[in-house]
């Protein structure tokens, strides 16, 4: 007796632009399932368009039409790659049949129409109605509770930092932090209502065996100075070994010059070397005593109401998946637009992860010089990658690809959504002081700890981090808010996620409404609400200066 046929399941898919060649399956599809487009998709036809020809994981791409060999494939309305063999409608589209174009510069982000090189597009006026979030929503919060510093800067946290000149003093710094943090914070609430939030050991893997000039030297010194003057550092211990290239005397001279320039007046600083202190045990004891004394000085610190113009928000994504560009990233983009419109500053970075979308950003530049500066940094990265024997398409990680991202062009189109629609007001180098207010681009690597280190060194006092695969990131002394792109991740790693943004796709929550939730959460955290990463004690290992140059 013949078994009755099992009816095919209907799987809904997301079409991101009417002319796209691929759609995103909302849930895992099996061979034979019917793919159901929303009304208006695929040439205006809604409903089931074709049967799935193989199994497709949730969030991955499926072809909407037959595609020949070497055909450009569009998603988000932009080319994300070319086919490596003929692809039939209903097939899974991924690394097995899609790759980067032979000459990406001819297809990415309108480059063919805009020309090549560093020629800047015309500036987008600030009043351009399609580029701004419009009037601020009724009732939007314009203040938060922060710590005012004597020089006018505002802190979102109150930390004592133990900064090292060289890796040789890293153990001493970590021991100082380990032996004092519970004592000075009470081990519970820290500085939520006042006092000290924690003691952070700012250690790194360099400081010697390097040239005392050049790009690598400048990056390291700029990063160390940025953390030393950061408003979230209320007291500072600087520990050196005593014979390193990055010597304590010249570094502290730089720091004192900046303190005297009113960048962080009143900052208590203690600087010494292990050799002068009498060895490891003596250096630890000296640091422990000084941290405890600083904590007593900071115990009276109290939060007060300040304007959001004092917020500098770092925008970061890590462990991205195919839903990153549809849920958490655009929601964060809305929050960034609200912050910028209210007078604050947002910092977009990860230069390798805007490759292919850089001209979309350049078109939003407030003047041609800003656009040229952005395009110049992207060109530097393509040359840098080539010199290292790789390409920028090496950026998507195995986890990114397992999550449905195939090429760097596809990843970048989703990543830039974090920057919302505000005009691009400036471009700065890694760890340079961030010029504000407005949306600013900082040249950073895509590697999360290094990228965020540059943003914090530049003055970011709050970080928002989107993730689709999962992240355990923290960023002392600046708090990190983590947004999940999908509900499965939010459930599986609930202890690490502050907000689930999957409702944008899974239950039809408006992106603007989700962005407003993100904005309000950010202000709560800036006011002292502890993030998941803070509750777990994360963020003490993510100080990673960008290391460039010879190790001698």
Write the secondary structure of 124-137 as one string of H (helix), E (strand) and C (coil). Answer: CCCCCCCCCCCCCC
For the chain, 552 residues long, give each residue's pLDDT as a single digit of tens. 455 455 568 888 999 999 999 999 988 999 999 988 765 544 444 555 678 999 999 999 999 999 999 999 999 999 999 999 999 999 999 999 999 998 776 655 444 333 344 444 333 333 333 334 456 888 899 999 999 998 899 999 999 999 999 999 999 999 999 999 988 886 444 444 568 999 999 999 999 999 999 999 999 999 999 999 999 999 999 999 999 999 999 998 887 776 555 566 778 899 999 999 999 999 999 999 999 999 998 988 899 999 999 999 999 999 999 999 999 999 999 999 999 999 999 999 999 999 999 999 999 999 999 999 999 999 999 999 999 999 999 889 999 999 999 999 999 999 999 999 999 999 999 999 999 899 999 999 999 999 999 999 999 999 999 999 999 999 999 999 999 999 999 999 999 999 999 999 989 999 999 999 999 999 999 999 999 999 999 999 999 999 998 888
* Closest by Cα among 358, 333, 359, 365 to 346: 333
Q: How far apart are CA 432 and CA 219, in angstroms?
A: 9
pTM score > 0.75 for this model? Answer: yes
295 sits in the region (left: phi over 0; alpha: psi -120 to 50; else beta) called alpha
Q: Is 297 exposed, middle or buried (CB count within 10 Å of its CB: 0-12, 13-18, 19+)?
A: middle
Name the residue with tokens 């000459």. Answer: 103
Give 6's DSSP letter. Answer: P
Would you call 482 helix, strand, or coil by DSSP?
strand
- 436: which 2 tokens? 């504000």
Structural domain boundaries in the chain: 10-99, 149-303, 307-535
Contact yes or no for 414/332 (Cβ under 8 A): no
Name the residue with tokens 């939003």. Answer: 364
Contact yes or no for 477/233 (Cβ under 8 A): yes
Contact yes or no for 497/466 (Cβ under 8 A): no
DSSP of 128-179: -TTTS--SPPTT---EEEEEEPTTS-EESS-EEEEEESSGGGHHHHHHHHHH
Contact yes or no for 347/434 (Cβ under 8 A): yes
- The predicted-structure confidence for 475-520, as pLDDT tens digits, reads as follows 999 999 999 999 999 999 999 999 999 999 989 999 999 999 999 9
**Alpha-carbon distances, residue 467 vs 382, 450, 501 (angstroms):** 25, 17, 10
The angle that helices 248-260 and 215-228 make with each other, rounded to 10 degrees, is 50
Spatial neighbors of 281 by CB under 8 A, at least 6 apart, are none
What is the sign of the dihedral through the CA atoms of 486, 492, 493 and 499? positive
Q: How far apart are CA 173 and CA 201, in angstroms?
A: 5
* Closest by Cα among 421, 425, 416 to 334: 421
Q: Which CATH number fits domain 149-303: 4.10.240, 2.40.160, 1.10.132, 3.40.50?
A: 3.40.50
Three-class DSSP labels, 287-339: HHHHHHHHHHHHCCCCCEEEEHHHCEEEEEECCCCCCCCCCHHHHHHHHHHHH
Name the residue with tokens 């955290």. Answer: 525
**Alpha-carbon distances, residue 348 vs 103, 353, 450, 465 (angstroms):** 26, 10, 14, 11
What is the sign of the dihedral through the CA atoms of 91, 93, 94 and 97? positive
pLDDT, mean over the chain: 89
CATH architecture of 10-99: Roll (2.30)
């Amino acid at each position: 007796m013949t078994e009755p046929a099992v009816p095919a399941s209907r799987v809904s898919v997301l079409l991101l632009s009417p002319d796209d060649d691929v759609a995103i399956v909302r849930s895992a599809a099996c061979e034979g399932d019917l793919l159901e487009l929303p009304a208006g998709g695929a040439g205006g036809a809604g409903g089931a368009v074709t049967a799935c020809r193989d199994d497709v994981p949730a969030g991955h791409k499926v072809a909407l039409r037959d595609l020949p060999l070497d055909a450009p494939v569009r998603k988000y309305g932009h080319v994300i790659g070319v086919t490596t063999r003929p692809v039939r409608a209903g097939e899974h589209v991924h690394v097995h049949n899609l790759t980067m174009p032979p000459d990406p510069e001819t297809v990415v982000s309108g480059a063919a129409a805009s020309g090549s090189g560093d020629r800047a597009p015309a500036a987008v006026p600030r009043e351009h109605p399609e580029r701004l979030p419009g009037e601020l929503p009724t009732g939007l919060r314009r203040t938060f509770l922060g710590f005012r510093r004597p020089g006018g800067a505002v802190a979102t946290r109150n930390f004592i930092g133990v900064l090292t000149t060289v890796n040789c003093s890293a153990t001493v710094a970590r021991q100082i932090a380990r032996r004092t943090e519970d004592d000075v914070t009470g081990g519970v609430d820290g500085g939520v209502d006042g006092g000290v939030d924690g003691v952070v050991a700012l250690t790194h893997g360099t400081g010697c065996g390097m040239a005392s000039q050049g790009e690598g030297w400048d990056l390291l010194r700029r990063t160390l100075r940025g953390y030393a003057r950061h408003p979230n550092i209320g007291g500072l211990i600087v520990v050196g070994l005593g014979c390193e290239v990055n010597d304590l005397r010249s570094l502290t001279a730089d720091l004192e010059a900046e303190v005297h320039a009113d960048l962080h007046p009143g900052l208590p600083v203690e600087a010494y070397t292990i050799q002068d202190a009498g060895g490891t045990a003596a250096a630890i004891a000296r640091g422990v005593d000084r941290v405890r004394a600083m904590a007593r000085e900071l115990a009276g610190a109290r939060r007060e109401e300040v304007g959001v113009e004092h917020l500098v928000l770092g925008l970061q994504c890590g462990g991205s998946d195919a839903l990153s560009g549809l849920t958490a990233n655009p929601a964060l983009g809305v929050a960034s637009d609200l912050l910028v419109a209210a007078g604050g500053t947002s910092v977009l970075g990860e230069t390798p992860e805007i490759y292919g979308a850089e001209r979309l950003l350049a078109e939003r530049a407030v003047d041609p010089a800003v656009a040229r500066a952005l395009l110049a940094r992207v060109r530097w990265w393509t040359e840098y990658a080539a010199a290292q024997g790789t390409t920028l398409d090496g950026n998507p990680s195995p986890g990114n690809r397992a999550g449905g991202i195939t090429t760097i062009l596809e990843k970048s189109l989703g990543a830039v959504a974090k920057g919302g629609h505000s005009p691009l007001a400036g471009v700065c180098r890694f760890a340079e002081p961030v010029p504000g207010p407005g949306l600013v681009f900082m040249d950073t690597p895509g590697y999360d700890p290094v990228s965020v280190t540059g943003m914090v060194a530049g003055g970011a006092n709050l970080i928002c981090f989107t993730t689709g695969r999962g992240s355990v990131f923290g960023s002392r002394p600046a708090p990190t808010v983590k947004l999940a792109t999908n509900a499965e991740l939010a459930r599986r790693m609930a202890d690490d996620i502050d907000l689930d943004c999957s409702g944008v796709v899974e239950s039809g929550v408006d992106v603007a409404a989700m962005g407003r939730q993100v904005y309000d959460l950010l202000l709560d955290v800036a006011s002292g609400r502890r993030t998941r990463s803070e509750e777990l004690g994360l963020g003490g290992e993510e100080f990673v200066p960008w290391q460039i140059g010879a190790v001698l």
